[in-house]
Structure 1
């Protein structure tokens, strides 16, 4: 049997087991997920400095509480993440950001698969800002967050999760106290992980 046939058989087996294990979410359920998330920054800069931060993979934990079988709220948490800030190809400093995100989700039941869409707000706090003398950024950012994802049951109360978010994160940049423009990170976050229902 070829590798392609083996992979296809495994995928079909997972999907079939997911359908057999599928149970509707209920009001009061708590779904706790742990994900590995790839952060891919848009790096939109209006300062003229060609600013950018590095992309990275980071750990994430989130909690979804179900108000009904279809409606839930998700709180996304992680630890402060360190990024290198560059102007063009030159590294000019570093910073940390802590970006908790709260979304309201609508969950569908698609024959075992449990896709969802969500929208909400992100709050980001920049800290440990290390920039050239006279250069500074605004420390707080509030923006919209949009998401799509799916939970695939693989065992009783255990799910494989795939999640994609687009988050607005940005800051104002100043030199010698004068604002020179805005720097928008606005990342796409692609996460894969496991979820446990309680």
Structure 2
């Protein structure tokens, strides 16, 4: 499983540096600064309107993105916390299958407003793995018609905002006794979007897509 392999590999590198940490308390706030890889799917799951005659086996895929992210976490109790993240991720959508290489959507920006509830397991020695789950709302904006879609007559494209949910797993590893730590995190989002291509005032193509990104992060954490 991708998430499991990622966490085990990163933890193996970090464990020699782990040190005992100050106990977490209710009311603590933890801020994390990450480098994050966002790996979406983008596959077509259904076609609602097709006035252009898509070839058989047409498919799409969304580009990956690497961005800085910030997570803010509030500890309700020593082992239970609530977390939200702040980031925006840019993506292009290109064709696959019969549409291989076609430039369909440029510069779509995703803002994933998310809230997760997490349970932390204290293994001792400053190592605290966690599991979480939560809800998300994907806001998508700034998308432009790609060159090949424009050549077919598309003048506008819209990707719908959607609700979804996510699962989360990771580990916090204390680096010193002054509340500084290394944090490794993996999330899997389950959310889709509707892509609508218009030619003037006419909807020429409308399709449903899975986004379902893996979001893999590594960075530093500090508790207040």
What TM-score comes out, normalization by structure 2 length? 0.75
Determine which of 149, 153, 160 is the counterpart of 1:139.
Answer: 160
Offset from partner CA, 1:34-79 (integer Å, 9 cap, x none) = 000111122332246411110121110010100100110001111x
Query: What is the alpha-carbon distance in structure 1 between the residues aligned to residue 93 and residue 42 of structure 2?
Result: 10
Determine which of 76, 84, 87 is the counterpart of 1:67.
Answer: 76
Contact in 1 for aligned 2:166/2:189 (Cα 8 Å): yes
123-132 vs 154-163, which moves further: 123-132
CA RMSD of aligned residues (A): 2.0
Following superposition of structure 1 onto structure 2, how do residues 15-164 of structure 1 map, counting pairs within 5 Å? 15=18, 18=19, 21-46=20-45, 47=47, 49-78=58-87, 80-88=88-96, 89-94=101-106, 95-111=108-124, 112-131=126-145, 132=150, 133=154, 136-155=157-176, 156-164=178-186
Query: What is the alpha-carbon distance in structure 1 between the residues aligned to residue 186 and residue 41 of structure 2?
Result: 15
Where 1:100 maps in the other structure, the secondary structure is strand
What TM-score comes out, normalization by structure 1 length? 0.85
With over 3 angstroms needed to count, the CA separation of the structure-2 counterparts of 1:53 and 1:118, relative to structure 1, is same
Offset from partner CA, 1:91-125 (integer Å, 9 cap, x none) = 12211111121101111111120111110011111
User: Which 5+ residue runs of structure 1 have no aligned equivalent?
Assistant: 1-9
User: Which 5+ residue runs of structure 2 have no aligned equivalent?
Assistant: 1-12, 48-56
Contact in 2 for aligned 1:135/1:173 (Cα 8 Å): no
Aligned length: 184
